[in-house]
Homo-oligomer: A and B are copies of this chain.
Amino acid sequence: MNFKKKYKRTVKKNNTYLCVGLDSDLERLPDCLKNEKNPMKKFNKEIIEATKDLVCAYKPNSAFYESAGKIGFKAWESLNEQIGEDIPVIADVKRGDIGNTARHYAKSLFELNCFDGATSNPYMGWDAIEPFMKYEGKYLFVLAITSNSSAKDFEYHHELYKLVAEKVSSWNKRINNRLGLVTGATKPEELKDIRKICKDEILLIPGIGTQGGEVEKTMKYGQGETHPNMIINVARSIIFASSGKDFAEKARAKAIEYKKMFNKFI
């Protein structure tokens, strides 16, 4: 099933816009998992089990898997099977390279693994995006405005983030609307600008939780024309809510809190 259908079906079924960021940093896993053969894999299994009726998507970030060597490689490979067919999985990899190389990144994410979508860095332009679009039904979230403070270094340069939104909107006409945008919740005014340009694209919104993004404004400015079309990511505040044996239980409680917090504004 294609990304958009799967996303909309999950939103409807679970009544939620929450995405759990599976940034399962090996250094921060609960002590009770230390003797597991693969602590990351076990951690993900428990977190998924505890939250799968509360989310519209999962988003693992590749950095945490790459820094864990073989354990991370195996945990990354297992994600799609662990999450199952019903919930979309977005590989947060922020890749971007020339065409022939980008084709290999796309192969890794969509053939070797079966992720439903991924994130992409726009710096190199369309060439870096096109190879991902050869995979029918897959969806790509292009960085527009990011949640970090040094976003100002380049993203604001003559409103570069708006140009990214304009290009994405124009590319979408030729590829059946399979591009969305990443827009940090720490920048609600810019989110408003972006929604003026990309009226109905799906927005992937990180920055709520540890990073301190503003929930009310994000919910107010982020919703699309025909559907909210938002995926609001929360990672550390949920998955590391407790470092004890009750980590999955506490993650579930936090996820319920965030789900409700977002739904108040829909």
Contacts and interface: CB of A to CB of B under 8 A. Distances in A.
A229 interface: no
Contacts of A152: 125
Contact of A154 (B108, B122, B148): B122
A143 B124 CA distance: 9
B121 A123 contact: yes
B153 A126 contact: yes
**A contact patch SS:** helix
A44 to B, nearest CB: 16
Interface in A107-155: 107-108, 111-112, 121-128, 143, 146-155
A175 interface: no
Interface stretch (A65-73, A244-252, A255-263): A65-73
A174 B117 CA distance: 38
A102 B63 contact: yes
4 interchain residue pairs of minimum CB distance: A125-B153, A125-B150, A63-B104, A67-B104
Interface of A: 23, 25, 61, 63-64, 66-67, 69-70, 73, 94-99, 101-102, 104-105, 107-108, 111-112, 121-128, 143, 146-155, 157-158, 160, 163-164, 167, 211
